[in-house]
Structure 1
Amino acid sequence: MACGGEGSGMLDSRRDIALACVLSCLAGFVDAIGFIHLGGLFVSFMSGNSTRLGVFIEEGRWHEAAETAGLILLFVIGAGVGNLIVLGLKAHRQAWVLLTEGVLLALAATAFSFGHSQVTVALIVSAMGLENAVFFTGGAGGIGLTYITGALVKVGQLMALALRGGEPFGWLPNLLQWSALVSGSVLGAIAYRLYDLHAIWFGAVAAFALSAAVALTARKEIDSV
């Protein structure tokens, strides 16, 4: 079975498939919060922001264009920092990336408590870029966790292969990843309506819990060898 996002590689274990889907759910949760707060811009879906950037430029809406470009830049920086964490560590790399994501989201929620909403958004976007390093292995590829177009493409491709005699349910993990992101978005929208940007605390707690779970499972795998 395989599960992958846009421009991604493949996941070949149930543990990785489950982790990818949970992280996509977290990304959907955070992105929905950011989308509502920013009035139509994304904190994790940079393809959408890139389209909005082009439209803003054509319309001469330079303030909105600059804001959107800033979000894209912060996302790229976050992704780069995440990869540097992976490249600089030999053990528990996934756990450290998730711990860093949790710290960024916690700082974002704290900044909002002190009235610094722009700092909050900047930290959230950086955290979303960083999350995509969880399955980074040192090459040019990886697994897209905060954007899902590639997973939907793979659903169609793998369904076509299934009809031609390939694995009958090879498309299912990708569909699950898409469903996880949508489910997270629903939860994020509800949380924002109830708690505003304070809802980011839920995302921070989830990232911390995932970091601990990943570290624990990695330790068990090492001990069992």
Structure 2
Amino acid sequence: MQRYDRSRQKLAMGLAFLAGQVDAIGFVVAGGYFTSFMSGNTTRLGVELIAERAPAWIPILIIACFMGGVVAGALVAFGRQGQHKRILLAMVTAMLGVATLALAHAHDMVFLALAAGAMGVANNVFSREGEVTVGVTYMTGALVRTGQGLAARILGRPSEAMRGYPTLWLSLAVGAVCGACLFAMNALVAAGTASGLALLLFVFAVRIETRA
């Protein structure tokens, strides 16, 4: 996070908020699966295969769609450097928009597939030479960096490693709360709000890349 200017840090926090919102909505729609947290889905997959002996096709589908989004996003990031943020966020906006329409017609699995794919695409917004520089849909790394920074401060050592990461985690957490609250009121409002937020982030990305 510290390598980016304030505008890009704000974009990262907006994406983390969006990821938390979409993940919360997807979690409720899927009955306990995630659209961006593939570690959780992998654990569910293992439990269902062995302990519960339940059909494991739902986590497999979500993981496959997420991976498809990552691959598609990486191809764009490789080929359109300097413009990839706006293109990727346009893809995310379109996918979440169609996902909202699918949810409106009670096609829950289509919604989950598109939402997971969109989150896979989003992970390429902050990447360089094929490497993700800021994970915006998963926060384990952000919490590790925060903990390491706190340890350094306890020892009296200067540390820039944690700068921005606590806020990134908080953005995802607040997004999850907002997503859950909106879904409790109206599922379509929740999904539509997420696609609307993605559109705003697309506009913000266009401004950032135009200035650059």
| Unpaired stretches in structure 1, ≥5 consecutive residues | 3-10
The question of 1:187 aligning with 2:178 is answered yes
Structure 1 residue 198: Cα displacement: 4.5
Alpha-carbon deviation of 1:168? 5.3
* Alpha-carbon separation, structure 1, partners of 2:132 and 2:96: 25
Note if contact 1:44-1:75 (Cα within 8 Å) is conserved in structure 2.
yes
Aligned residue type for 1:20: A
Does the 8 Å contact 2:78/2:130 carry over to 1?
A: no
Give the Å deviation of 1:61.
2.4
Q: 1:117 and 1:139 mapped to 2: Cα distance? A: 32
Query: Displacement, 1:89?
Result: 1.2
Secondary structure of the equivalent of 2:114? helix
1:197 to partner: Cα distance: 4.3
The superposition leaves residues 59-89 of structure 1 with CA deviations (integer Å, 9 ceiling, x where unpaired) of 25241x2211111111111111111111121
Contact (CA 8 Å) 1:159, 1:170: kept in 2 or not?
A: no
Give 1:16's aligned residue.
Answer: 8
Question: Contact conserved, 1:113 with 1:198, CA < 8 A, in 2?
Answer: no
Distance 2:209 2:157 in 1: 32
Note the C-alpha offset of 1:199: 1.7
In the superposition, the TM-score normalised over structure 2's length comes to 0.93
The residue aligned with 1:95 is 86
**Counterpart in the other structure of 1:175:** 166
Write the distance in 1 (CA, Å) between the matches of 2:181 and 2:142: 25
Partner Cα distance (2:164, 2:82) in 1: 27
Residue equivalent to 1:7: none
1:55 to 43, 47, 50: 47
Between the two proteins, the alignment pairs up a number of residues equal to 212
Answer yes or no: is 1:115 the counterpart of 2:106.
Answer: yes
Distance 1:192 1:214, change over 3 A: same
Which residues in structure 2 correspond to 1:71-220 (within 5 Å)? 71-167=62-158, 170-220=161-211
Q: What is the CA–CA distance in structure 2 between the aligned matches of 1:90 and 1:12, rounded to whole Å?
A: 16
Which amino acid counterpart does residue 134 of structure 1 have in structure 2? V
Residues 95 and 195 of structure 1: CA distance in aligned 2, closer, same or farther (over 3 Å): same
**Conserved? CA contact 1:97–1:131, under 8 Å:** yes
Identity %: 34
Q: TM-score, with normalisation over the residues of structure 1?
A: 0.88
**C-alpha spacing 1:201/1:49, structure 2 compared with 1 (3 Å):** same
How far does the alpha carbon of each residue in 1:14-59 deviate from its partner, in whole angstroms, 9 at most, with x for none? 2222211111011001100111111111111111111111111112
- CA RMSD, 1 decimal: 1.7
* Residue identity opposite 1:162 in structure 2: R
Question: Aligned with 2:130: secondary structure?
Answer: coil
